[in-house]
Amino acid sequence: MVCLRRVYKYFESGRGRTYVLQSINLDVREGEFVTIMGPSGAGKSTLLHILGLLDGAFEGEYGLLGHAVHRMRPRERIQLGRENIGFIFQQYHLLDDLTVYENLAIPLSYRGVKPAQRAAIVAHSLDRFQIVGKRNLFPNQLSGGQQQLVAVARAVIANPKLILADEPTGNLHSEQGKEIMELFRRLNGEGTTIIQVTHSEENAAFSKRIFRLRDGWVEGDSGNDPADRGNAIKSEGADFQSTCRETHADTCSQGCTGGV
């Protein structure tokens, strides 16, 4: 599903380049639950933003679902993200002037879902996440845990192939955080691929692999269950097309060379 090869991210300054990510190689297979960990400043959120197609200013090769992201135009990347990725942020990012119902409907409207079908899907999601009674409330009328639950519901409502979560429990107390992580485990059990960034070892234990960064470099890649591990880190000189094709033959039939 995801192929990164020799990805670099840097910022220019008067003193030269400051690297945030250096030579990142990563494969994520469909159905995996991967955690990205590391100390503050390690490059975790930067990597997640690249994976989420929110940041296209990087060097290297990125294949997502058979598309060569590094060769795509900004408009193509936006469309690919809307169709395939659900994003969950630490700060929830719900729209304050919209109700819970209206917040859930937004991703469907982006995808051109007709109003009648949209209403049915939102009703199902409200029931699925047990927030029917909150449908007409605004975000400022909800607790932090309830807001994050709505954010998760919004992220998955259009059945994205990939969920990206940036410190999803960072603003929640421990019990609320555990409920969100149990929800992630259930979604992953249903086949959704999840990549989360977290500082919490407890949250990381819910995933199947832990990808560790330090100072922008890969420090390690370990599986909580070795049987579930893919070939996560390829050699520095690995060929992008061949390794992507080998490890993702089911979802990368074009060898990650085609555009949208």
Task: For the chain, give every domain's residue range.
Answer: 2-247
Tens digit of each residue's pLDDT (9 = 90 or more) over 30-66:
999 999 999 988 999 999 999 999 999 999 999 999 9
Residues forming a β-bridge with 61:
5
Phi, psi angles (nearest 5°) of residue 224: -65, -30
Banded model confidence at residue 260, pLDDT cuts 50, 70, 90: very low
Give the burial class of 108: count Cβ atoms within 10 A of its Cβ; 0-12 exposed, 13-18 middle, 19 or more buried: buried
| Overall fold of domain 2-247 | Rossmann fold (3.40.50)
Q: Is the pLDDT of residue 236 over 50?
A: no
Distance of alpha carbon 39 from alpha carbon 173, whole angstroms: 21
Tens digit of each residue's pLDDT (9 = 90 or more) over 200-213:
999 999 999 999 99
Helices (H), 130-239: 144-156, 174-189, 201-204
pTM of the model: 0.83
Tens digit of each residue's pLDDT (9 = 90 or more) over 111-153:
889 999 999 999 999 998 889 999 999 999 999 889 988 999 9
Give the burial class of 137: count Cβ atoms within 10 A of its Cβ; 0-12 exposed, 13-18 middle, 19 or more buried: middle
- Strand positions, DSSP E, 170-252: 193-197, 209-214, 217-223
Handedness of CA 100, 106, 108, 112 (dihedral sign): positive
Using an 8 Å Cβ cutoff, are 187 and 193 in contact? Answer: no
Banded model confidence at residue 15, pLDDT cuts 50, 70, 90: confident
Distance of alpha carbon 20 from alpha carbon 242, whole angstroms: 27
Amino acid found at 103: N
Tokens of 237: 């000189």
